[in-house]
A = this chain, B = another copy of it.
Amino acid sequence: MHGLIGSFSAHPGKRDELIALMTASLSDMPGCLSYVVAKDPQDADKLWITEVWDCADSHKASVHIPAVAETIRQAMPLIAAFGEHIVTQPVGGCGI
């Protein structure tokens, strides 16, 4: 499996709009086992994304899915800065 833990910051006041965008187009991403969007309770602009994919290729391919590509296009202007970007190798658990 292939995992990602990432964070980024929305422009002030834009986090909810970004969350709405990012959670609207998640229904059909082949190989996506988990994709969680979370607020950082310590920072009103910050978001965390944790992802689990069956393999890295599925993750790479996902950005070419039309609905995902459109979400990225709409989301980019709302993002002020990218933060953590941690690649992991999920090995087990529940909910995946």
Given A3-B48, A37-B93, 18 more A-B residue pairs with CB atoms under 8 Å apart are A3-B38, A5-B5, A22-B92, A23-B92, A26-B92, A34-B93, A35-B93, A36-B93, A37-B91, A38-B88, A38-B90, A39-B89, A40-B86, A42-B87, A48-B86, A52-B95, A95-B95, A95-B96
Q: Cβ of B95 and Cβ of A37 under 8 Å apart? A: no
A92 to B22, CA, bound (A): 9
Q: How many residues of A contact B (CB 8 A)?
A: 34
| Min CB gap A42→B, angstroms | 8
**Chain A: residues with CB nearer than 8 A to chain B?**
1, 3, 5, 19, 22-23, 26-27, 29, 32-42, 48, 50, 52, 86-96
